[in-house]
Structure 1
Amino acid sequence: MYDGTSERNSTRTNCRRGVEFMQPAGDILRSERERQGRTLAQIADELCLAQDYVRALESGDVNSLPGTFFYKSFARQYAAILGLDDKLITPYLSALSAAEETSNVNAGIRVPEPLVEASNRILFPDVPLGWSVFGLAAVLTVCSMFYTWWNQPRPVSAPTAGIQRPAPVVPVQDVSLKPAEAEGASGVVLKLSATERTWLSIRSGGREVFSGVLQPNESKTLTGLDMATMKVGNAGGIEIRWNGKPIGPLGVSGEVLTVRFTPQDFEIVPPPPRQEL
């Protein structure tokens, strides 16, 4: 019977090795920041991250970050902000990847934990969640592009013109779809409004439909999606209307979350459990 003991022991061993690889990279970043006279708060603001995450980057504390992939992505972005050649930290990050692959090979099958407590089932349907490491990695690969501040919106296809039929001359009527009609016609409709600077990555149908940074008071609308998976780097800095319905705050400022939307419901994908050293 699987009890997770061997997996935890293997993961802890590889986490210790990961810290050994990450610590020199964090030392390089911290030393250069201090040499430039910049504070943690300044770096956190430029990365659009919480200060605790920046502190974890410098100390090599992978358990305080959503995962190893985040550490490597944020470390490269941190180096770019400081003007460092990322070749200085690449050897440590590559060694960390090797340790993580060993951990993944030895990992057993995990049983997904419930998404919400019973008290929250009114807001979130009781849908079983499957966790795919490879699927998550595909979504998160766009994080490495964050520091380029790419914010070019994708062109939206023009609506198909309706069939015109002969009719008497009458006053023009508003033919825009109501929220319920738009929902049925378009599948998933997302309207995103930033209250703080927030980076986003949205995928649908196996391809990336948007990746970039929304500035405060900037909005983005996506329509015609069968389903969508959104990665948000500042959960407290974004307001979302899903199929015309506002949803509550996803999290706090600086929190990184993944949300999956379908025409019927949406769910916050839980991060992998933190491993103790």
Structure 2
Amino acid sequence: MPSLGQKLRQEREKRGLTIEQLSAQTRINVQYFQYIEADDTASLPGGFFYRSFVRQYARLMDLPESDYQGELDRSLAEDASQSVGRTTALPEKTIDVPPIPTGRFDTALEMRRWAWRLGILALVMALCSGVYTFWDRWRIQHEEDRIAAAKAEQAAPKPAEKQPAPTQPAPTVPAPQPQAPAEQPPAPIQASIIPAAPEVPASGAVRLIIRANEMTWVAVWQGDKQLFADVIRAGETRGFGSPNQLRIRLGNAGGVQLEWNGQAVDPVGPKGQVRTVEFRTDGYSVIQPPPAPASKPDGQV
């Protein structure tokens, strides 16, 4: 039957451990492990240390106390009987030595740590995503408000103080003599608005070129289909074509120059006024706005 020291050595060799590795884990001198495996209790400091070293050794090997307690007590008893007359005797009192750390991995504790880390990471990502979403919505809303304000400013009629502008040429219209000069001033303007090649080409039986001298809101329809609706800034040119008919609506009639099938079109209205013009293969017509209702004298219904 193997002794306690032989049994411990066999368990150590099964696990492929060296005495040096045991010493590094327990902080016990290498020689003491060698004395234990050789059952040389006399070379150990005393019975107390022998019992403590053996228990630590056995716990590292995962041996239950029942496997070595009897052999440990027997070895201590023999050593005590042999030490009669010596100045130092093995202690009779049993001292329980607490187990040393085995360095095992605590799975539950590590899982809780990782859960905390993942939770904090998810919270930070959600916070960053919320901040970015708020900023992106604010930027888009700000841009839409700016564009809507620009379109509304161009599409809305000018204030009342600019409406009397169409009445200024009224004194020259009734006079028979100014009729001929009235047709002559547009001539140089017409020559200046017909370029050699338009910036935006148009094709079809009805071809229309729109050049903006001022910022103007423009909408173009081909029958019931809307082809264009946006603001044209000064210096920009747009071209449209249709096989039969085009209808346009200008928010600033005097702020654009029109060219129909290669011919310059006389101004369809003064600046700041809304006009609708219909272009066909045989001609074009300006759809005048309905007249304002006449005010009735006081007392009439």
Same fold per superposition (TM over 0.5):
no
- With normalisation by structure 1, the TM-score equals 0.36
Max radius of gyration: which structure? 2
- With normalisation by structure 2, the TM-score equals 0.33
